[in-house]
Amino acid sequence: MRHIVVLSGAGMSAESGISTFRDNGGLWDKYDISEVATPEAWARQPELVLEFYNMRRAALAEVEPNSGHLALTQLEEHFDVSIITQNVDDLHERAGSRNILHLHGELTKVRSTKNEDHIQDIGYQNLKLGDKCPDGGQLRPHIVWFGEEVPKLMEAAQITRTADILLIIGTSMQVYPASQLIYEASPNCEVYYIDPDPAPVYGISNLKVIKEKAGIGVPALVHNLMSKNQ
């Protein structure tokens, strides 16, 4: 089976009602990254950091996967599909995709500040100061903050190298190192980038840019790929 790798960003979930970060009115217009999404913020004002992720977890409970997430699941009938997402929501999972790597962590999980491998589910509930892991460590959001290592980067790069087709969906390609994964694809990989306001991408020969929202562009591309593969 041919291997399709999907690299998704915040635009993938925009039509579900989750704010992107860098569009007008996006999350980073309303919040200062350095106040809510860095290890320094956590050390200085953990209550505010917890409130930010509690708010996002509660919002996630209220939304549903959109037609883009759902269309991607159909690809699994004809292709080997790997999803690498920068998103911390669980909408790919809830749509039914099976093979998902979260590069920047997951809202529905928390982990110990004593041991980063001690991860537990929290679902859509609030996390408070004083909520401890059985190892005694305060629990923190299972999110990769700015300034932290991206533990799954090597795995993501390895997966991308084996892609026959790469779909990049709804990302401004501004956040390193996720933005560099496209350069791991082999020279004969077909690359599609679906975004209504795509970032300039240089040096990729088989790139096709589709200026559409995910909810329209993804189902249309999935339909094309499936019919070409019959």
Residues with catalytic function = 104
Among 69, 102, 109, 213, which residue sits at the site for ligand OAD (rule: CB under 6 A)?
213
Smallest gap, in angstroms, from Cβ of residue 178 to ligand OAD? 6
Tell the smallest beta-carbon distance from residue 193 to ligand OAD (Å). Answer: 10
Binding flag, residue 23, ligand OAD (CB under 6 A): yes
Residue 190's SS3 state is: strand
Shortest Cβ 151–ligand OAD spacing (Å): 12
Q: Out of 54, 106, 172, 185, which residue is the one contacting ligand OAD (CB under 6 A)?
A: 172
Question: Half-sphere exposure of 128 toward its Cβ, with a 13 Å CA cutoff?
Answer: 2
155 binds ligand OAD (CB under 6 A): no
Q: Can residue 120 be called a binding residue for ligand OAD (CB under 6 A)?
A: no
Binding mask 67-96 for ligand OAD (x = CB under 6 A): -------------------x----------
What is the rounded distance in angstroms from the CA atom of residue 18 to the CA atom of residue 14? 5
Residue showing tokens 């990302």: 171
Under the binding rule (CB under 6 A), the answer on residue 21 touching ligand OAD is: yes
Of 24 and 230, which CB lies nearer to ligand OAD in the complex structure?
Answer: 24
| Residue number, 163 or 215, with CB nearest to ligand OAD | 215
**Complete edge-to-edge strand list for the sheet that includes strand 190-194:** 100-102, 80-85, 3-8, 165-169, 190-194, 207-210
Q: How far is CA 189 from CA 41, 67, 77, 192, 194, in A?
A: 40, 25, 20, 10, 16
Cα(99)–Cα(147) distance, rounded to whole angstroms? 27
Beta carbon nearer to ligand OAD, 108 or 171: 171
The three-point CA angle 226-182-201 to 5° equals 100
Residue list 130-149, contact with ligand OAD (CB under 6 A):
144
Q: How far is CA 70 from the centre of its chain?
A: 15
Taking the least distance from each CB to ligand OAD, the nearer of 138 and 172 is: 172
The structure tokens listed for 145 are: 């903050």
The reply on whether position 196 binds ligand OAD by CB under 6 A is yes
189, two tokens: 């990989």
State the residues that interact with ligand OAD by CB under 6 A.
Answer: 9-11, 14-15, 20-23, 26, 37, 86, 104, 144, 170-172, 174-175, 195-197, 213-214
